[in-house]
Structure 1
Amino acid sequence: MTDSSSDLWVFGYGSLMWRPGFDSAENLPALLHGFSRSLCIYSHVYRGTPELPGLVLGLNSGGFCHGQAFRVSAGHKAPVLDYLREREQVSGVYLEKYLPVELADGRQIEALVYVADPLHVQYAGGLTAQAMAALVGHAHGQAGPNCDYVINTVRHLQVMDIRDELLEAVLQLLPPARL
């Protein structure tokens, strides 16, 4: 982790890409090696409830993940960290890590990344696209319908020229009334 006088980089791979919730001094497409994006977290708050959980993205070990990196100036670092911890650590399902990330312009930086904890009770690894779509299609939480989360993420990735075949397959399996 960097000291408080340095800027903070944050790597987003899901809703942080299209709704970061904080101002950044710079943001660029980025690549994280060693982890892959997956709908592997049961959402009990933002996109579902404990009774009818939704699914949100997490990072599983292995592979790589295209996303967005946001640079937060040192003067705004503390409130952004507070905000991210409140948002991402609501249930403790994510592990907060600082990992090497490659920016689209070739720079190598260290970024704050939220990685799925496979030992957490809300971890939902290994679901099929059909099982994911069934959960996503019926869930609704404090931030709205779960299908909106998947739709917004897929659209943002497409704008960035990034294909995520699993997310696109889940989207295709959602009932037409949900799209």
Structure 2
Amino acid sequence: MSDLTNDRPASGFTLPDGDLWIFGYGSLMWRPGFEHVEQHRAMLPGRHRRLCVWSWYHRGLQHAPGLVMGLDRGGSCIGSAFRVPAREAPGAFEYLAAREMVTPVYRPSRVTLRLQDGRRVDGVTFTVDRTNPQYAGRLTVETAADTVRRSEGHSGHNADYVRETVAQLRRMAVRDPFLEAVAAAL
């Protein structure tokens, strides 16, 4: 099960010993941006993927926010687990902290992942902070699609982010009805 009691700011976050398993559930699945030696489909119990974060940088701006994924509490999430060798783990984590924590809407969390081959591994992921003003909560398909359609940030158009994530989930044979409905509405 997820160990979500270790949420801390990145500066005080302690990485697990040995190789680092990183769990991606949004753009990390299709654009990890760090070197890794293995990638597997993985399941994270206790959290689910949701288009629930107002993006003030990557896919929108503070005055015109976009929407990106967050790992919210409850359910489970299928995504990608990447193994980074121990010697490269600090650099990969620094890269991810800089990428994911441009604003403090995400918290690094130590979790236990179930890989498709049955192994359980300790890993790290980024979960949404529900107390942060960027937490959007539950939105309707119409509101989400309208936001995504008009938003663009430093990493590109919000619609591209949603379409790429849906395409990656399809390649992994994962269904996300809400996200698919938002993509169809675009």
CA shift digits 1:1-34 (9 cap, x unpaired): 423xx10000000000000001101010000000
Displaced runs of 4+ in structure 1, greater than 2 A?
none
139, 148, 153: which is aligned to 2:165? Answer: 153
* 1:41 paired to 2:53: yes
One-letter code of the match for 2:34?
Answer: F
Distance 2:67 2:57 in 1: 10
- Give the match's secondary structure for 2:42: strand
* 1:64 paired to 2:72: no
CA shift digits 1:59-116 (9 cap, x unpaired): 1100010000000001111110110110011101011101111000000011101111
Aligned residue runs from structure 1 range 16-27, under 5 A? 16-27=28-39
Q: What's the TM-score, normalizing by structure 2?
A: 0.91
Distance 2:46 2:93 in 1: 23
Distance 1:111 1:164 in 2: 23
Q: Which runs of 5+ in 1 are unaligned?
A: 175-179
Residue identity over aligned pairs, in percent, reads: 45
Task: Give 1:177's aligned residue.
Answer: none
RMSD after superposition: 0.7
Task: Give 1:91's aligned residue.
Answer: 103
Task: Give 2:127's aligned residue.
Answer: 115
Distance 1:79 1:89 in 2: 15
Distance 1:69 1:41 in 2: 22
6, 9, 20: which is aligned to 2:21? Answer: 9
Distance 1:101 1:124 in 2: 26
Q: What's the TM-score, normalizing by structure 1?
A: 0.95
Q: Which runs of 5+ in 2 are unaligned?
A: 1-14
Count of aligned pairs:
172
